[in-house]
Amino acid sequence: MHIHPDARAVVRATAPDQPAILNRPHAAARAARFFVEKFPGKSLYAVKANPSPDLLRVLWDAGVTHYDVASITEVKLVRATLPDATLCFMHPVKAPRAIAEAYHAYGVRTFSLDSLDELEKIRVATDGATDLTLCVRLRVSSEHSELSLASKFGCDLVDARELLQQSRQLADCLGVCFHVGSQAMSPHAYVLALEKARAAIVDAAVTVDIIDVGGGFPSVYPGMEPPPLEDYFALIDRTYESLPVSYSAELWCEPGRALCAEYNSIIVRVEKRRENELFINDGAYGALFDAAHVGWRFPVRLLREGDNDAAGDAEAVDFAFYGPTCDDMDYMQGPFPLPADVRAGDYIEIGMLGAYGAAMKTAFNGFEAVETYTVSDEPMASQYNGSRRHLRTGDNVVSLR
Ligand SMILES: Cc1ncc(COP(=O)(O)O)c(C=O)c1O
């Protein structure tokens, strides 16, 4: 596999007409090692954040052995890519046939649920199996998170007692899980959720074997600089240690974003400029879903051939982006600060798109084509390289020569 030093080298070598996805396997491996070594329990990778088989292999090689899958397609993908991985089907609402196939054909033993109906579905689909690990998902607050996951899934405390007690009857191992929402900006989110888990366990008076604190671990983006992950791990550990769980209980987490955000950036080309709006060749239906639909800001830098010194001197100005489709909603407000003289034909690198970025690309309007390259430079921000450095104005132009 050819490894380019960075985005500049890719543009110089290929001048891509389509968006180019850049992989940074070293960054994903570093994130995985961090969780494997420092999280005080087991880390399951939430495959939905980025299901790239190359990434799955990087995480496996770095020591991640358990995978949170949400669909039968993810079950098959991970099983085909990593035959020895342990798969945990953590979507609380599953199709009966998906449960049966996962259990009987793919060796899945761990399932999450948030209702008695789902418990019955699992019982029937697995023919009353006695070797199940069942994780009851509690609804917890998303108040500390940038993206809420508090509405759709999770059982409320009033219903948790019966669900925990009935699940205990069927389960070989019983777990309690939750999700504090994605990009949780305070470790306190996990303390609040663990206190809710404590209340549910005490109320149901059942033996609990697994506490799964879910995903939500943050990455570094413009305008979002979370506390160090060590702070999250320390508070989770301390609160977990005081919970009334079985003496051999395990602590699990399911990071998606935190393991893969730094894995990808993309190179896009400016096809047109209209004042402070840039029409680029990727967007809301491509890798920039979150930039369009939830106003997420990603770091950007200009990669220009030619008069780089002039561009480097140009004052930074805030731009908005339009994507390539014919849809008005294909719009990303940003702001994305770039040198004032950006023009059609320029290339821009957009960073931190490994989580819910590269994975979201659709073929809408025929804009699915993409090239993928591997690069060896640092991601545009990182919480694992010791610097937690943000891109600053002046860093947002890179010479091609
Ligand atoms: C059940 C479950 N676990 C883990 C994750 C990963 O969350 P994050 O990417 O915020 O770490 C998700 C994301 O939606 C999820 O639904």
Distance 268 CA to ligand 1 centre (A): 28
Ligand 1 mutation pick, 254, 263, 296, 383, max ligand atoms within 8 A of CB: 254
Q: What is the pLDDT of residue 393?
A: 40
Q: What is the pLDDT of residue 399?
A: 46
Task: Tell me which amino acid residue 391 is.
Answer: L
Q: Which two tokens stand for residue 58?
A: 């990087």
In ligand 1, the atom with minimum distance to the C-alpha of 49 is 9
Q: What is the pLDDT of residue 314?
A: 74
Q: Where are the domains of the chain?
A: 3-22+262-399, 26-260
Distance 290 CA to ligand 1 centre (A): 15
The residues of the chain scoring below 70 in pLDDT are 305-313, 387-401
Distance 368 CA to ligand 1 centre (A): 25
Fold of 26-260: TIM Barrel (3.20.20)
Nearest alpha carbon to residue 382 among 55, 61, 45, 28: 28
Q: What is the pLDDT of residue 394?
A: 43
Is the bond into 218 cis (omega within 30 degrees of 0)? no
Q: What is the pLDDT of residue 391?
A: 46
Backbone angles phi, psi at 274, to 5 degrees: -130, 100
Contacts of 149 (CB under 8 A, 6+ apart): 142, 179, 180, 181, 182, 216
Superfamily the domain 3-22+262-399 falls into: Lyase, Ornithine Decarboxylase; Chain A, domain 1 (2.40.37.10)
Give the closest residue (by CA) to ligand 1 atom 12.
215
Task: Tell me which amino acid residue 302 is.
Answer: L
Q: Give the whole-angstrom CA distance, residue 182 versus residue 394.
A: 30
Q: What is the pLDDT of residue 395?
A: 52
Q: What is the pLDDT of residue 104?
A: 98
